[in-house]
Amino acid sequence: MEKSYKEYLNQINTFVFDVDGVLTDGTIQVSTHGELLRTMNMKDGYAMKAAVEAGYTVCIISGGKNEGVRKRLRGLGITDIYLGVHDKVEQMDEFFDIYSIKPDEVLYMGDDIPDYHPMKLVGLPCCPQDAAPEIKELSKYVSHRKGGKGCVRDVIEQVLKVQGKWIEK
């Protein structure tokens, strides 16, 4: 019998996130100067910062190259930010080697076809509610939240709560 996604939450010590469609809603605004602008959710940001401060490894792997995205994520304490990546599996393997990460201890959240192959390699593949059908089918957990609308907060909060690291009362 297939394990419930909740049975994987205790073993997670690393989060890997895509940007467009996960940390953003997938839309891009183009300024009059040709700048590509994205919108990120503050609650997702809070959760990523909380995960970093609680000792989890948080990694961003994206095909996009927006330096504003890098600046925002660095401000949250995330140091492993890989932008402009064409082969996400190769980048993820390199990241795993640097930190001696075991794939079964990783939660990867992606939303579209470029995330398909890396998601197959981790213990807990997840996606936003509005992910591509192929990604939803592959995911052990589909968030009730859409990309850019709190899906990252959803998965981080679940992991930290199960492991007793969400908030100190």
- Condensed to tens digits (0 to 9), the pLDDT of residues 30-74 reads 989 988 888 999 999 999 999 999 999 999 999 988 889 999 999
Asked if the structure places residue 22 within a domain, the reply is: yes
Phi and psi at 58, nearest 5°, equal -120, 130
Asked if the structure places residue 26 within a domain, the reply is: yes
Name, in order, each residue with C-beta under 8 angstroms of 87's C-beta and a sequence gap of 6 or more: none
For 14-31, what is the mean pLDDT? 94
pLDDT band for position 169 (cuts 50, 70, 90): low
For 97-106, the pLDDT digits (tens) are 999 999 999 9
Tokens encoding 50: 């909380």
Write out the residue range of the structural domain in which residue 46 sits.
5-162
The pLDDT of residue 1 is 57
Asked if the structure places residue 38 within a domain, the reply is: yes
Structurally, the chain folds into a number of domains equal to 1
Burial class (CB in 10 A: 0-12, 13-18, 19+), 93: middle
Percentage above 90 pLDDT, the chain: 84
Query: How many Cβ atoms from other residues are within 10 Å of residue 151's Cβ?
Result: 28
Asked if the structure places residue 92 within a domain, the reply is: yes
Asked if the structure places residue 149 within a domain, the reply is: yes
CATH number, domain of 37, equals: 3.40.50.1000
Tokens encoding 165: 């690291």
pLDDT band for position 146 (cuts 50, 70, 90): very high
The pLDDT of residue 34 is 85
For 142-162, what is the mean pLDDT? 97
